[in-house]
Amino acid sequence: MDEHTAHMRRALDAARLGPEADPNPRVGCVVTDASGVVVGVGHHRGAGTPHAEVDALRAAGAAARGGTAHVTLEPCDHTGRTGPCTEALLDAGVAAVRYAVADPGPGAGGALRLRDAGVDVGPGPLEEEAAELNRTWLAAVRTGRPFVTWKCATTLDGRSAAADGSSRWVTGPRARADVHALRARVGAVLVGSGTALADDPALTVRDADGRVAGRQPLRVVLGTRALPTGSRLLDDAAETLHLAHRDPHAALAAVRGRGVHHVLLEGGPTLAAAFLDAGLVDEVVAYVAPALLGAGAGVVGDLGIVRIDDALRLDTTDVAVLDGDVRIKATPRPSAPRS
């Protein structure tokens, strides 16, 4: 392993120490002095905290002058809650910067600014691994809309609820804990008003003992029906946004306007069908229980498909067994939106 790869590998390890929760990417940085010795390692710890470059430069101090910064994501050149990383790198006097992934945002990356100031800037190794670390964030920046994960829980015969409407619980405790871990990573959880009225879900992140976590995603209800007084979605456990329409595109635009990069679509079947039909589902996480109901609500509504040849096909990316239940991760194959 050459020294650039070794330093970027260490920067990736540092990046993984940061919070996985939306809306910020996980970024790591390793700073070496002019002789190539590591003098600073840093990572981003969440919104409003110093970026990875600043964290590493603080550790390096004066030893950074004339050295090299290895960063997992191209340094930023804009001011948000913190200042631009380009300025911090220039003030520290680094001679070179290597980054694994270019920032896809229009005008967001700082490579050009650094080059104009005389810094040797170029792409570094491990691009694919660094991109995977922030795949949802990168996708949201590239497309201009949040990355959408559709989560569903179903029996072997594709039922999400019994004939009487009961759906607690289709899957077991370990699968449900996995769902809470998934919720903890996203910026918003979205359900249709029909599901909100029928199930009265809390849509909060909770631990195994039912305790509500400190950080909660935005709860979003899409649909024209109003939530009744006393709905758990109107409690103070988390913020709830009610969008009184049925337009998936407008819903994603609304939550993107609140800084959300990753949306978890949780139900119900009509809402899932609307997002799938519009080509707005980027990933499916399905929990399949070894159970049969024979009747009851299906996991997804009518997609207008009448021939098997027209089935919406997905590519499986991961399969795991969670105490008997099976979790399947899959991505829809690229196709033109159906609506």
The residues that are catalytic are 53
* 336 labelled ligand-binding: no
Tell me if 34 is assigned to a ligand binding site.
no
274 is in an annotated binding site: yes
Residue 199 counted as an annotated binding residue: yes
Q: Is 245 annotated as a binding residue?
A: no
The answer to whether 339 is annotated as binding is no
Reference 29, options 8, 45, 48; nearest CA is 8
> Annotation-wise, does 3 bind a ligand?
no
29 is in an annotated binding site: no
Q: Specify burial of residue 327 (Cβ count, 10 A radius: 0-12, 13-18, 19+).
A: buried
d(CA 47, CA 272): 31
Q: Is 201 annotated as a binding residue?
A: no
For residue 320, what are the contacts with CB-CB under 8 A and spacing of at least 6?
326, 327
The position carrying tokens 């964030």 is 137
Ligand-binding annotation for 117, yes or no, is no
Residue pair 55/39 in contact by the 8 Å Cβ criterion: no
Q: Is 335 annotated as a binding residue?
A: no
Residue 169 annotated in ligand binding: yes
Residue 248 is labelled as binding a ligand: no
Q: How far apart are CA 188 and CA 203, in angstroms?
A: 10
The pair of structure tokens assigned to 69 is 């910064």
Using alpha carbons only, give the angle 255, 102, 46 rounded to the nearest 5 degrees. Answer: 50
The answer to whether the annotation marks 293 as part of a ligand binding site is: no
Exposure class string for 83-112: b at 16+ Cβ within 10 A, else e? ebbbbbbbebebebbbbbbebbeeeebbbe
CA dihedral 233, 235, 241, 245 (to 10 degrees): 40
Assess contact for 249 and 219: CB atoms under 8 A.
Answer: no
Decide: helix, strand or coil at residue 212. strand
249 is in an annotated binding site: no
Asked whether residue 75 is marked as a ligand-binding residue, the answer is no
3-state secondary structure 100-132: EECCCCCCCECHHHHHHCCCEEEECCCHHHHHH
Q: Which amino acid is at 2?
A: D
The secondary structure of residue 36, as a DSSP letter, is S
- Known binding-site positions: 51, 76, 85, 153, 167, 169, 183, 195, 199, 203, 206, 224, 266, 268-274
- Known binding-site positions for substrate: 167, 183, 203, 206, 266
- Known binding-site positions for NADP(+): 153, 169, 195, 199, 224, 268-274
- Known binding-site positions for Zn(2+): 51, 76, 85
